[in-house]
Structure 1
Amino acid sequence: MAKLKSLIKIEGTLDGMTFYKGKDGYLVRTKGGVSKNRIQNDPAFVRTRENLSEFGHVAKSGKTLRHAITPLLADVKDGRVTSRLAKVLSVVKNADATSTRGNRNVGVGMVTDVGKNALKAFDFNQNAALDAILQTEYQLDTTTGEVTITGLNPLQHINAPGGATHVNFQVGVLNLDFQTQEKELVLSTPINVPLNSTVIDVNPTPSSMPTGTGQTYFFLKLAFFQEINGSQYVLNNGAFNVLQILEIL
């Protein structure tokens, strides 16, 4: 670290040197940090390499899950969903009690109750959590994937965003194996409901159940629309849409 003696006072990085203002005036230092080669090869950084390996695996697993539910997630907008999901999947990865450090993985963690419970009830839009939007009870049939909402009064039981006139209810059932990347997603037909005081029963049901190895994930989605001159439009590009993992088996 050196003190900058110049009429020009600058802050920032230039040619590998960082200029900044400290309590002793304007200072300059060369770019520091450990080299990439040392991190990759020095025995002293073995724990760092293990952590980086597991971090990369968690990030890849989050991408795998998001891509597997693209038809559901495409119009559910949350700019922080990637980082939030990675944080939860890191907990799932830590539930892997059999793999060596640096090789713990989400697929093994998802077999455990700890792993399933960590991801269960995850809201893909933190600005529209299911429990904050749907203000009534619902039942999930894990045999068929059907979600039943009896006696729904949309005006009373749905905390709808301003401007919304209708809401779609849709369920999805995903079979996903993080280790083999095998996946299958089955969706229900969306049920469109006007946001008025007419009491109805809602029971979106997927056409079939997915098959394969891995775990089965049950999703419930609420998507809001605004009707103008007889046509419905997605409200605010999906900023208020809800998507939650109800259960994992």
Structure 2
Amino acid sequence: MNDPAYIRTRENIAEFGSTAQSGKLLRNAIGTMLNRAKDPRMSSRMMGILSKVRQLDSSSARGERIVSEGLATINGKQLLKGFDFNNRAALQAVFHAPFSLDTTTGVVTIENLVPTDQLQVPEGATHVAFRSAFIKLDFSTGDYNAQYSPVVNTLLNMSPSTITLTPAGVPTGSGTQFYLLLIEFFQEVNGEQYPLRNGAFNVLNLIDVV
């Protein structure tokens, strides 16, 4: 562990470990939403993106570069923005409606959504549900605060409606701000709604990073 010939290896190991810890922190901050929409390789895909973000840290020495410094750059935020936690159901493939995000309040607004016209609806689905999250995460301390909107559930039909997702509050603390959108599909049977194939068709997207 002290051989000068392996200094690059030790640096890589150190940075790999810190990046893995940052990925774990982000997944923990997202909480139960992550259980509703993810694919089996989500963690490794995220690790790949975060490694690229870490490499944008231009102020730390090799072996000491960290994700939080990379995320302080515009390019670092752009790398992570738009990440799909479930690559079987990417946001752009499923959701074809314009929406707006207020980065100050975390409110997501989808105006005049026509569900069966602007969603790629899985066979058998009768309802769709939307939920958003506004998260503030400090990678240097490990502290985070997550605020979620109520679930908005609507029938899959051709009737337009405006969906407004308002988080319970603005998260406190310092760090990077993350905004997420969750889309879930259900099938109603005898008045009870059931998830389709354990979330295989559900979308969870990191719509912005500030």
Q: Bin the TM-score by the shorter chain.
A: over 0.9
Q: Give matches, 1:102-113, under 5 Å.
A: 102-113=63-74
Percentage of pairs with the same residue = 47
1:125 paired residue number: 86
Give the secondary structure class of the aligned counterpart of 1:232: strand
1:189 paired residue number: 150
TM-score, normalization: structure 2? 0.97
Q: CA deviation at 1:77?
A: 2.8
Give the secondary structure class of the aligned counterpart of 2:53: helix
Q: In structure 2, give the amino acid aligned to 1:239.
A: A
Give the secondary structure class of the aligned counterpart of 2:120: coil
In 2, Cα distance between the equivalents of 1:199 and 1:48? 57
Is 1:50 aligned with 2:11? yes
Is 1:243 aligned with 2:204? yes
TM-score, normalization: structure 1? 0.82
Q: Give matches, 1:83-102, under 5 Å.
A: 83-102=44-63
Alpha-carbon displacement from aligned partner over 1:81-110 (angstroms, at most 9, x marks no partner): 000000000011011111110010011111
8 Å CA contact 1:77–1:240 kept in 2: the answer is no
2:118 paired residue number: 157
1:147 paired residue number: 108
Q: CA deviation at 1:215?
A: 0.9
In 2, Cα distance between the equivalents of 1:247 and 1:80? 22
Larger radius of gyration: 1
Give the secondary structure class of the aligned counterpart of 2:48: helix
8 Å CA contact 1:168–1:190 kept in 2: the answer is yes
Q: In structure 1, give the amino acid aligned to 2:27.
A: R
Give the secondary structure class of the aligned counterpart of 2:174: coil
Displacement over 4 Å in runs of 4+: none
Q: CA deviation at 1:64?
A: 1.0
Point out which structure has higher relative CO (alpha carbons under 8 A, 6+ apart).
Answer: 2
Q: In structure 2, give the amino acid aligned to 1:75.
A: R
Which residue of 113, 128, 152 corresponds with 1:167?
128
**Count of residues in correspondence between the two structures:** 210
1:81 paired residue number: 42
Q: CA deviation at 1:144?
A: 1.5
Q: Which runs of 5+ in 1 are unaligned?
A: 1-39
